[in-house]
A and B are shown apart, each in its own frame.
Chain A
Amino acid sequence: MTWFELNQDLVWDLLGRHARLAIPAVLISVVIAIVLGRIAWRWPRVGSVVLGISSLLYSVPALPLLIVIPVILSVPLRSETNLVIALSVYGTALLAGTAADAFRSVDIRVREAAEAMGHSPTGIFWRVDLPLSLPVLLSGIRVVAVSTVSLVTIGALVGISSLGSLLTDGFQRNIREEVAIGVVGTMLLAMALDLLIVALGAVLTPWQQRTKAGATT
């Protein structure tokens, strides 16, 4: 009997918890990073300050952050909310700069022509800037997704269950297989999420696939 066969239910449960912590954090990071990136793109001076602060936040070690967030926002230390907020801070910090670059990657000729045709400023954002910044944005989201999935394990140190719990438990009780399953499980989840984003990207940017495949004369 191996450890895995005896503890399958626990592993699947922790995998589910892990995903439920990582995915909301990635989604929140994407939304906030797009807002910050847009601000940084629109007002470069404000932007350099915003991006500076966000990369500073990225350098805050994870454990202290998990202790500071409950103090500032009065959420329970061991709650999933605490960890999701912390992961969102890191995700946003990682993605905001890329989001600004993504908006800068949109061809100015396309934006100006769209404006001259009578798109409103909101219309430009939703119909032109956001879709055309997707290729760059998606590459950043992939990095954030993978990094968030691996960071979730830190939560186990303050008692927030995830595949990370297998690491802490396995080390304490010296069960090598449990540690290995924690590591491999985390990596597989990260890879699955990455594949999902790549597939989503292909669906959302059909013009890229077609233009690459189709011959242009």
Chain B
Amino acid sequence: MGIEFSGVSKTYPDGTEAVAEFSCSVPSHRTLALVGTSGSGKTTLMRMVNRMIDPTTGTVLIDGSDVRDLDKVALRRSIGYVPQAGGLLPHRKVIDNVTTVPVLCGTPKAQARADALELLAKVGLDPSLAKRYPGQLSGGQQQRVAVARALAADPNILLMDEPFGAVDPIVRRDLQDQLLALQSELGKTIVLVTHDIDEAFRLGDQVIILRTGGIIAQSGSPQEIVAAPANDFVRDFIGADRAERTLRTVDLDGRQVVVDGDDRPVGVLS
């Protein structure tokens, strides 16, 4: 079942069309990566799932029911949300950030705290950090806390709003690996918003490349998109013509070495 966008549009009062007639479905336990530049409507689309934004026309369905029929607050508590950098509550300790939603939902505090400590370990954080404030952590650690916080109430759906956009490339890679490992264990239905095509390809089972105004430039698995970019916009966006995307193999002492368009080695064929 999962999430289904059915002909959704969003037009703001000033006439700006953020999203136009967008339809797509995300099967359960799968990751949809919405990727595009700013103004492509990717965040708007994601926010329609937890009703931070209501579409002007069309409907968003979760497991077949229209989100508009659900209570906003209850709906949001049932969906995990990983904000961009800086979205933790700065005045609450790490542990209290993680227990936010369970406590709002009425889980006894002691129980919520015990669960939170386990979750912190799961996202690769030392439990000794639990008593710190977010401002005392590095950017990468903060986003790990954000992931733990989103998972705390064990939601079926996870919304991720450029979660790793503000950390340096090495930490980002780490966080992405961690998320992939968690996802293979937990199997959430994820909607990920990113402007980084490599992140979309790494994390998404399905990738939708959006152009300005929420128009789908191409939708498909990462392999499908790389193999056959639908048009020049996609070709340009994924850098299909960049040297590092055009790989070939050369034979070197009996091993198949993969090199890119500039003849730089990227690896060997196993």
Set of chain A residues within 8 Å of B90, measured between Cβ atoms: 107, 110, 132, 207, 211
Cα–Cα, bound, A120→B75 (Å): 11
In the complex, chain A residues whose CB is within 8 Å of the CB of B84: 109
- How many whole Å from B171's CB to the nearest CB in chain A? 11
Q: Kindly list chain B residues whose C-beta atoms are within 8 Å of the C-beta of A115.
A: 52, 76
Contact A113 B52 (CB under 8 A): no
Per-residue 0/1 for B58-90: is the Cβ within 8 Å of any A Cβ (1 yes, 0 no)?
000000000000000111111001011011111
Chain A residues, CB < 8 A from B132: 210, 214
State A110–B91 Cα separation when bound (angstroms): 10
Whether B104 and A123, one on each chain, are in contact in the complex, defined by CB atoms closer than 8 angstroms, is yes
A211 with B136, Cβ < 8 A, contacts A115-B52, A116-B83, A123-B104 known: yes
- Given A211-B136, A214-B136, A216-B137, residue A118 in contact with residue B87 (CB < 8 A): no
Shortest distance from the beta carbon of A169 to any chain B beta carbon, whole Å = 48
B100 at the interface (CB under 8 A from A): yes
Main secondary structure of the interface of A (DSSP, over half): helix
- Per-position 1/0 for B79-109, Cβ under 8 A of A: 0010110111111100000001100100000
Tell me the bound Cα distance from A44 to B81 in angstroms: 30
The number of residues on chain B lying at the interface, defined by a beta carbon within 8 Å of a beta carbon of chain A, is 30
CA distance A113 to B86 in the complex (A): 9
Task: Assess whether A112 is in contact with B104, with CB atoms less than 8 Å apart.
Answer: no
Q: Are B89 and A128 in contact (CB under 8 A)?
A: yes
Alpha-carbon gap, A107 to B89, bound state (A): 10
Residues of A within 8 A of B22 (CB): none
- In Å, the complex CA distance between A120 and B74 comes to 9
Q: How far is the CB of A216 from chain B (nearest CB, A)?
A: 6
Q: Complex formed: what's the CA distance from A155 to B86 in Å?
A: 49
Q: How far is the CB of A200 from chain B (nearest CB, A)?
A: 15
Kindly state whether residue A119 has any CB partner on chain B within 8 Å: yes
Mask, A94-135, CB within 8 Å of B = 1, is 000000000000010110111111111001000110011000
Give chain B nearest CB distance to A209 CB in angstroms. Answer: 10
User: Does B86 lie within 8 Å of A107, measured CB to CB?
Assistant: yes
Q: Once bound together, how far apart are the Cα atoms of A114 and B101, in whole Å?
A: 10
Contacts of A205 in B (CB 8 A): 91
Q: Which residues of A contact B83 (CB under 8 A)?
A: 109, 112-113, 116
Q: For window 160-217 of chain A, which residues contact chain B by CB distance below 8 Å?
A: 205-207, 210-211, 214-217
5 smallest CB-CB distances across A and B, nearest first, come from: A118-B77, A113-B87, A211-B135, A118-B76, A113-B83
Interface residues of chain B, those whose CB is within 8 Å of chain A, are 47, 50, 52, 73-78, 81, 83-84, 86-92, 100-101, 104, 132-133, 135-138, 149, 159
Question: Can you sample 9 A-B contacts with CB below 8 Å?
Answer: A109-B83, A113-B88, A113-B89, A116-B50, A132-B90, A132-B91, A214-B132, A214-B133, A214-B135
Extra pairs beyond A110-B89, A118-B73 (10, CB < 8 Å): A112-B52, A113-B83, A117-B100, A118-B76, A118-B78, A131-B91, A210-B133, A211-B135, A211-B136, A216-B136
Taking beta carbons and an 8 Å cutoff, which residues of A are in contact with B? 107, 109-110, 112-120, 123, 127-128, 131-132, 205-207, 210-211, 214-217
